[in-house]
Amino acid sequence: MKTGNDIVIIGGGLMGLSISIELQLRGANVTLLSRNFQEAAAHAAAGMLAPQAEGIQDPEFLKLALGSRALYQDWANKLEAIAGLDPGYWPCGILAPVYQRPESTVGSESPETPAYWCDRNTLDQRQPDLGPEVVGAWWFPQDAQVDNRRGLARTLKVAAQKLGVNLREGVEVQRLETQSLEAQTLKPQNSQGQPFEPENSAIHPAMIIKVHTNQGTVTGAHYILATGAWSAQILPTIPVYPVKGQMLSVRVPPSPEPLPLKQVLFGSEAYIVPRRDGLIVIGATVEPHSFDPGLTPAGLQSLLSKAIRLYPALQDFPIQDFWWGFRPTTPDQFPILGGSPFKNLTLAVGHHRNGILLAPMTAQLIADWVLEQKADPLLRQFSWHRFSMG
Ligand code: GLY
């Protein structure tokens, strides 16, 4: 998978931008094609970096998620130094209040995944004014947040520009033009001359030779698909579908000083994410297979009533904004990373609820794979092969 220097990334969302920056920093020459920077899933999330609060159980996925959370502080510092903008990383911890006492309240002292149970009395010290039905909460001090819309998305775009990534906006990819290859000649062989399948590697019957767009064709030595919820429209063999999320924000009125929320509240029904300047993001509906644009009264009513149940003071805070977006989801809800059915196409899609969290790790793994042919064992777990077995 020698690539030369010309890499074409399809998709200008958080993943495409993060990967473009990592590749460009390692000396590649990257062109990024984006239909519309505003429609990216990065705008649809609240920016929680929450492997623990999300309750991730799968050991390999947890490894990926915790690894990415651990990279965040340095990654944010690096982006800030390049772009001269603050991505809004805030290691504020996440409180996960519950309405029913869990069977076990034994936490964890592990330095990587500390978790502490707070009964209602302890909780009231940490976070006053939660709803009367809350009986206690888990406290995850290592979970964090980033201001994805106002901070990270803008910082990534400016960093990519400053590093010389060729950002082409308004470019809609219509199709990939492929050419078949002699599959036999591509089959890797072991030292005895027998065919074998290296980790996360495909036997590629074809390669991409160009990308057809609304602005002509684009060619590169290697291509990376990072098209989020729209991925199956470009590569139908990749099972990625949209899960719509509606969101809104309110603003703390000037009088409650200091700010009333000091950490993320990750409720079982809704989450409330306070920013350091008094904005509070509330999310999100979960609407599988919907590409319907816009907001619905039912969606907003449900979000508001769940958020007010969790933190009643919200009901008097002025509403700031409403928006929606589409999470890119796969049948097992894990991402698809690494090789593809095509020799010179790499996949970085399907991050579902965890795209913001997984961006730094994804950028690193994909750059290792594309530039150094280094297949981290995690790539095997998240290979497209798991969906191609019949
Ligand atoms: N990461 C939270 C969500 O997708 O709603």
Burial of 158 (0-12, 13-18, 19+ CB in 10 A): middle
Cα 245 to the center of its chain, rounded Å? 14
CATH of the domain at 122: 3.30.9.10
Boundary residue ending a domain (284, 311, 327): 327
The answer, yes or no, to whether any atom of ligand 1 lies below 6 A from the CB of 325, is no
Which pLDDT score is estimated for 310?
98
Q: Do 67 and 3 lie in a common domain?
A: yes
CB 135 within 8 A of CB 117: no
Q: How many Å apart are CA 105 and CA 174, to the nearest integer?
A: 52
CB 69 within 8 A of CB 142: yes
Q: How many Å apart are CA 135 and CA 129, to the nearest integer?
A: 12
Which pLDDT score is estimated for 186?
47
Number of domains in the chain: 2
User: Pick from 112, 134, 116: which is nearest to 51 by CA?
Assistant: 112
Q: Write the residue with the smallest CA distance to atom 1 of ligand 1.
A: 353
Which pLDDT score is estimated for 188?
45
Ligand 1 pocket test, pick from 52, 273, 302, 353 with the greatest ligand atom count within 8 Å of Cβ, gives 353
**Length of the chain (residues):** 390
Whether cis (ω within 30° of 0) applies to the bond prior to 258 is yes
Q: How many Å apart are CA 259 and CA 261, to the nearest integer?
A: 6
Q: How many Å apart are CA 308 and CA 62, to the nearest integer?
A: 31
Name the 3-class secondary structure at 345: strand
Please give the distance, rounded to the nearest whole angstrom, from the Cα atom of residue 354 to the centre of ligand 1.
7
pLDDT tens sequence across 173-216: 999 999 998 654 444 444 444 444 444 444 678 999 999 999 99
Look up residue 170 and give its two tokens. 């308004």
CB 232 within 8 A of CB 349: no
Instruction: Please give the C-alpha separations between residue 265 and each of 131, 197, 347, in angstroms, as whole numbers.
Output: 12, 45, 33
Please give the distance, rounded to the nearest whole angstrom, from the Cα atom of residue 350 to the centre of ligand 1.
13
Which pLDDT score is estimated for 42?
67
Q: How many Å apart are CA 152 and CA 154, to the nearest integer?
A: 6
Instruction: Please give the C-alpha separations between residue 149 and each of 6, 90, 283, in angstroms, as whole numbers.
Output: 29, 14, 14
Q: Do 14 and 75 lie in a common domain?
A: yes
Q: Do 160 and 309 lie in a common domain?
A: no
Q: How many Å apart are CA 33 and CA 173, to the nearest integer?
A: 8
Which pLDDT score is estimated for 127?
97
Q: Do 149 and 279 lie in a common domain?
A: no
Q: Do 26 and 122 lie in a common domain?
A: no
Which pLDDT score is estimated for 41?
64
User: Pick from 292, 293, 316: which is nearest to 304 by CA?
Assistant: 316
CB 205 within 8 A of CB 214: no
Q: How many Å apart are CA 53 and CA 145, to the nearest integer?
A: 12
Which pLDDT score is estimated for 39?
74
Boundary residue ending a domain (310, 327, 344): 327
CATH of the domain at 83: 3.50.50.60
Q: Which residues form the domain of 291? A: 94-141+242-327
Q: Do 358 and 375 lie in a common domain?
A: yes
Q: Do 227 and 366 lie in a common domain?
A: yes
Which pLDDT score is estimated for 389?
63
The answer, yes or no, to whether any atom of ligand 1 lies below 6 A from the CB of 159, is no
Q: Do 42 and 108 lie in a common domain?
A: no
The answer, yes or no, to whether any atom of ligand 1 lies below 6 A from the CB of 275, is no
Boundary residue ending a domain (327, 342, 365): 327
Which pLDDT score is estimated for 258?
81
Look up residue 320 and give its two tokens. 């700031």
Q: Do 114 and 161 lie in a common domain?
A: no
Q: Do 85 and 193 lie in a common domain?
A: yes
Which pLDDT score is estimated for 254?
86
CB 148 within 8 A of CB 47: yes
CB 136 within 8 A of CB 118: yes
Which pLDDT score is estimated for 257?
75
User: Pick from 139, 124, 62: which is nearest to 93 by CA?
Assistant: 139
Q: How many Å apart are CA 343 and CA 207, to the nearest integer?
A: 5
Which pLDDT score is estimated for 296?
97
> What parts of the chain have a pLDDT lower than 50?
1-4, 184-202
Q: Do 179 and 291 lie in a common domain?
A: no
Which pLDDT score is estimated for 364?
98
Q: Do 64 and 188 lie in a common domain?
A: yes
Please give the distance, rounded to the nearest whole angstrom, from the Cα atom of residue 46 to the centre of ligand 1.
7
Other Cβ atoms within 10 Å of 162 Cβ, number? 13
Gyration radius from the chain CA atoms: 22
